Amino acid sequence: MTSPTTTSQPATSPASSTTTTPPTSTGPQPTDVPKLPTDGVDVVLTDLDGVVYRGRHAIPHAVEALTRASLHARVGYITNNASRRPVDVAEHLERYGLEVSEDDVVTSSQAGVRLLETLVPAGSTVLVTGGLGLTSIVEAAGFTVTSSAEDSPAAVIQGFSPDLGWTHLAEASFALADPDVPWVATNMDWSIPVERGIAPGNGTLVSAVHQAVGRMPVVAGKPERPIFDAALARFGGEHPLFIGDRLDTDIKGANDAGIPSVLVLTGIDKAKQVLAADQRSRPTFILDDLRGLSEPYPVTVRREDPDGTRYATVGAVTVAMRGHVVRVLDDGDPIDLLRAGTALIWESGLAIYGLDVDPKLYGGE
């Protein structure tokens, strides 16, 4: 057995003392015995963009995996995208072969209107900055919709629409010049995955209004609690699991709501972002794609040398960390490398920018 030398490089083989413990996350953890991420789960809540589809195309394996999950748990679809009505989202999902009704969909528009109802009287005039997916929900709740600040709206609610332009943002700014007018944003996603790539999201549009009025809205969508509360109220269940592709919205929001989470690497965030995740944004499970929902999740085995060198083994791969140096010892499946690397880095308490990380952990060279 080789021990690390004074060069601060990790050893080429692990120490003999062994303990098996679950990965670090703010959410509930896998056990020491491999199990399915969905074991014991009675409600699966899943994001859409980057998890189920990208643009017009279903993400490979997502439909089959969610159909399989629905045999044992209620599946609810949650989206920060406020541009479409729940019925439109359901019809979109049905085209991929999923069995979905509009009651299975919770949008940030719905969560935003729940917030509005706590801020202004029923029937109030509300300036809506957004598309049909938002205006229809606001109207259905009994509010009067306007697009002009000249109508003296009691509140402003803002959601994403690809057709929004300067004129719409300016009207919101004019209405919000009155500091007593509440402002609700459906979500603050800075970017959205679309068929052609990554595009600006609602957060960029909200930021434009913020720069004009000098204040921020209350937010309904992920990572804030209102959308999770709306989903749990809708679907019930005692043991939920949330699936997302973004650390800053999906995973952070699920952790803050006390819901175990799956990060799937088919959307926005990839290995490099996962390794750098802060404590509130760390998932319970990390999957390449949704096939992993029905596969036993591997245990992370920890080892430590007397000199403080720590090792994490997942499956056939082993990663070592000594001081600020993180190295791959036994190469193999990239997803297991990522799981082992995150176990060491997250538990170290050290900031990612201060570490010398083996590029193999994030697909670099």
Candidates 49, 245, 305, 330; catalytic one:
49
Within 13 Å and on the Cβ side, how many CA atoms surround 211? 8
**Whether 47 is catalytic:** yes
Give residues with Cβ within 8 angstroms of 155, minimum separation 6.
116, 119, 120, 124, 126, 127, 181, 182, 183, 184
**DSSP 3-state of 328:** strand
- 306 CB neighbour count, 10 Å cutoff: 8
Q: Residue 349 in 3-state DSSP? A: coil
- Backbone dihedral angles phi then psi of residue 264, each to the nearest 5 degrees: -110, 135
Which of 197, 201, 150 minimizes the C-alpha distance to 175?
150
Residue of 10, 25, 52, 2 lying closest to 297 (CA atoms) = 25
Mark whether 49 is an active-site residue. yes
The tokens for 86 are: 């729940």
Given 32, 47, 180, 250, which residue is catalytic? 47
Strand ranges in 55-95 using DSSP code E only, listed in sequence order: 57-58, 74-79
The owner of tokens 């965030």 is: 269
The backbone torsions φ and ψ at residue 37, rounded to the nearest 5 degrees and listed phi first, read -55, -25
- Partners of 317 in beta bridges: 314
Residue 261: Cβ-neighbour burial (10 angstroms; 0-12, 13-18, 19+): buried
Are the beta carbons of 170 and 213 closer than 8 angstroms? Answer: no
- Kindly write down the DSSP assignment for every residue of 182-218, as one continuous string: -EEES---SEEEETTEEEE-HHHHHHHHHHHHS---E
R_g of the chain, CA atoms, integer Å: 23
> Could you count the other beta carbons within 10 Å of the beta carbon of residue 275?
19
Q: Tokens 């979109």 appear where?
A: 92
Lookup: tokens for 21: 């413990």
Both tokens of 36, joined, read 């399915």
Q: Which of the residues are catalytic? A: 47, 49
